Amino acid sequence: MSSNPSPAAGTTPTAGPTPTPTSTPTTPGASGPHAPSAAAADPALDHLDWPFFEGRHRRFAESLDAWARAALAEAPHPHDRAAVDARCRDLVRQLGRDGWLRHAVAGVAHGGASDVLDTRMLCLARETLARHDGLADFAFAMQGLGSGAISLAGTDEQRARWLPRVARGEAIAAFALSEPDAGSDVAAMQCAARIEGDHAVLDGTKTWISNGGIADVYVVFVREHASGAPAGAAAEAPRRGTRDIGAYVVEAGTPGFEIAERLDVIAPHPLATLRFANCRVPLAQRLGPAGEGFKIAMRTLDVFRTSVAAAALGFARRALAEGLDRSLARRMFDARLADFQLTQARLAQMATTVDAAALLTYRAAWRRDQGHAVTREAAMAKLAATEGAQQVIDAAVQLFGGQGVRSGETVERLYREIRALRIYEGASEVQQLIIGRELVRAATQAGG
């Protein structure tokens, strides 16, 4: 395998002064091979000057960046399942202990930083954490997504029961929507609940569930049946539609609920298939009225879909920084790699892709925080950021040559971590359909 990418050359961006954090990190500082260099980190914060942000957003991002440099610089990147589980639990505890998870839940009375979820805060958190450590981003994001339905649709009693523990990092949350035959096609859901008195009895399977196997609290979406009706896909002809979907909070250890299989993927993180067999859940643990589960799921995804774009943006920024550092340090043919025009062209394309993704991401986040519907904007952000990050990371691997595919290299890890983001919370093809549908709908309304 050749380690020599195509020659190319350039100028180096000028780094600005290092932003001063507004709070001191709670974890002692560290430096190491997995920490972004100071020169590479400054451009990653330049966008905080954009008009999408208020002062509190800038202070938050700078403080979290300082914390991540101290707490995550020497962090391990385990592959063994037990070690990954342990690392994820530890990250949730750290993020909760140091106050960052407060931004992933809503309701000051229930441990949240504000009474409504601030989309820009969520996106800045995910971008920053992803730039430093993909598993830290995962831990933060899943606490938010897993408890998001409780934040958005829970009663005061439900919020008080579960959200404070999630915000403190004392309980791990999970969002259970996908099934073996119902991923993007939620209307094909077959996991079912029949109502018996003051309980719902759950039967069926969920799969590709992040935090599956380590979560304490699962929000599970099921197709509801009237009292006395059979439950489960095998009990009747498959049903479609979204009007009879409900959402229930199911705690780990509930009789009839088990982890059927742990799933291993190229970027290791806790993932599982869940099985429910005559699992009795009190109706007091249903979120919202009967049949409102689909709307609750879509509201939750509407908040967090833009944050997926932000995580991809964080991965892309790190890849750009790594590629730039490599091109400045690597010498070949009596010159730096950065001194070849093809390298300059590659870096230019990477930087442009990153900025375009950032603009789309924070436009969507800003608009949502202003109270606007962002169906089209969020889809554009996720599509552009995830697809663009894949291209940027691939270019960074190419700049590293053979070293780029060596296990343990930062760009090799990024290459594995980015792939799933183009699939989960709506695959790229689904985002294209959403954008196209919204354009047609708007044009039809304008013309009608």
* Gap between the Cα atoms of 195 and 406, Å rounded: 54
* Gap between the Cα atoms of 148 and 399, Å rounded: 39
Active site residue: 412, 425, 429, 438, which one? 425
Please report which residue ranges of 15-109 form alpha helices under DSSP H. 38-41, 55-72, 81-97
Name 101's Cβ contacts closer than 8 Å, sequence gap at least 6: 92, 95, 140, 143, 166, 167, 168, 169
Burial (CB count within 10 angstroms: exposed 0-12, middle 13-18, buried 19+), residue 329: exposed
Residues paired with 225 in a beta bridge: 194
387 catalytic per annotation:
no
SS3 71: helix
Tokens 């049946």 belong to: 225
Residues paired with 193 in a beta bridge: 202, 224
CB contact at 8 A, 119 and 303:
yes
- DSSP 8-state assignment for residue 299: H
* Gap between the Cα atoms of 444 and 350, Å rounded: 37
* Gap between the Cα atoms of 133 and 213, Å rounded: 22
Active-site residues, by number, are 425
